[in-house]
Amino acid sequence: MLTEKFSKQEITMYLKALSQSLSRKYYSYQEKQINLVSLMLLLLSGMLQFVFSLSHTIALRNFLLIIAFLLAFRYFWEALQKKPKQLLPVVILLVILQAWMLAISGIIADQPSASFSEWKGQWLPVFMSFVIGIGLARGLAISKLKDHSVVVAMSILIPITIFLSLNALFVIHDWIQAGKFIPSLGGLGDHHGISGYLIALLEPILFADILSRLIKGNRLLPVSGWVVFSILILAVCTLIGTTNRNGILSTIFTLVLVTTMILPDIRKLYSPRKLIALVLVSLVTICAIALISYKTDPRWQNFIETVTIAWDIDHNQLWLNGNGKDPPSASDGKKVDTSEYSRIAWAHEGWRMLIAHPWGTEISRDTFHKLVQAKYGHAGMSHSHNSWIDFGLEVGVVGVLLWGWVLLLLAKYGWSWWRIHQEPLGLAFAVLVIMFAVRGMMDSIFRDHEIVQFMMVAGLLLSSLSFKKTDFHQP
């Protein structure tokens, strides 16, 4: 019998100790759990990160965005009260930018109602998305997880990686059906550039994680190095397979930027021989990516000459057509690359128009098209493919400066976290913002779902860093 080996008093003491132990573990477990609202926000954020890039899902995006915004606003407001120094300046600048857009709609725009409608459909979701990012990170911060920033990083990594994996399967399926390599396939998206925009959100996190492991022994992502490397290979192969030149250039610039930013830390920890080896590995990687792209994409062949021809918009105005069917010829008689020719010519004309309209014109994604149509009587393009030009024609120099100030504050904050705390998430954040600003010179990404998704990621990283626990003084 049990009572023959142990007295009743001993059994009672044992059961009491067991009960107390289970109770402590239960409450400790409860404290570490994510509350229901934060969990719902996390799931909604992951769904949005995936759905943003799918075709014909605008109604679903807006529905998820509204639900997430309503759930996140309380945490957002609490975050502003807890960390006003880190969050308030950016939020204030964004509010001023929104107010400036409304002023343009009411005072400058020829059709105020259309301009206001465009603001409501385009830029109000941008602000809502930023609120969601800040609110979600705050909700995770108060959940008493060991490190909520890891969950934030994974909430970006997982849905984008799933999208890229499925997208690769769709592209390969189309190749097999056609029996040949087909360039510029969109896959799950309606354009081959969609996957490139997602990769631009992913690469800073991957590069920061890899280089932080090499330098500080810290890892940003809770997975093995092989997993991180495999995701990076998937991203690069996607860019090459979809012949995404701007994405490839962005990848190379991102790698160079990250390496340059951490070079002082590398020099402190590694001998000159290891430093040279690291630089050589980086150069070999960059050259390999560039060579493969050059061999698989014939558009690189007359790249330099195309720049010269495209900049001369007065002598040759084929750029007005915008249909790519009849670009001018190079010196060797071959047609120049249509995409490059058009983008450079449009940017040149857009710069002239920005000088002519320094206060902006209206909130509209096809402002460039309207201005070209009015000036030349013909416009075969919808926008200039340069985000800074398109945005400037909408909001003028004042709006461009406000938006640039927002990006500068975000990048500066991420960089300070890396320099002071060697926090890889801060490095990823700084690189992400800088490359988004640079990429804006090559693609129209200050619009549609691209900027909405970027602002959600930016809000997540900004708020996550603001509430990150550290033994040092916060920047």
Q: Quote the number of domains for the chain.
A: 1
Domain contains 83: yes
Name the least confident of 22-31, 57-66, 459-468: 22-31
Domain contains 23: no
Domain contains 56: yes
SS3 call for 218: coil
pTM, two decimals, is 0.85
**For the segment 121-155, what is each residue's pLDDT rounded down to a tens digit?**
999 999 999 999 999 999 999 887 778 888 999 99
**For the segment 308-357, what is each residue's pLDDT rounded down to a tens digit?**
877 888 877 777 886 656 667 666 666 777 777 788 888 999 999 999 99
Beta-sheet strands, E only, within 18-95: none
Write out the two tokens for 151: 């969950």
Q: How confident is the model at residue 420 (pLDDT cuts 50, 70, 90)?
A: confident
**For the segment 219-261, what is each residue's pLDDT rounded down to a tens digit?**
888 888 899 989 999 998 888 888 887 888 888 888 888 888 8
Please name the amino acid found at residue 330: A
Domain contains 104: yes
The label of the residue with tokens 């890892």 reads: 219
Domain contains 330: no
Q: Which domain holds residue 128?
A: 36-302+384-466
126 vs 411: CA distance, rounded Å: 18
The CA-based diameter of the chain, rounded to the nearest angstrom, is 106
161 vs 155: CA distance, rounded Å: 10
Write out the two tokens for 380: 């075969």
Q: What is the dihedral of CA 239, 244, 247, 253, to 10 degrees?
A: 100
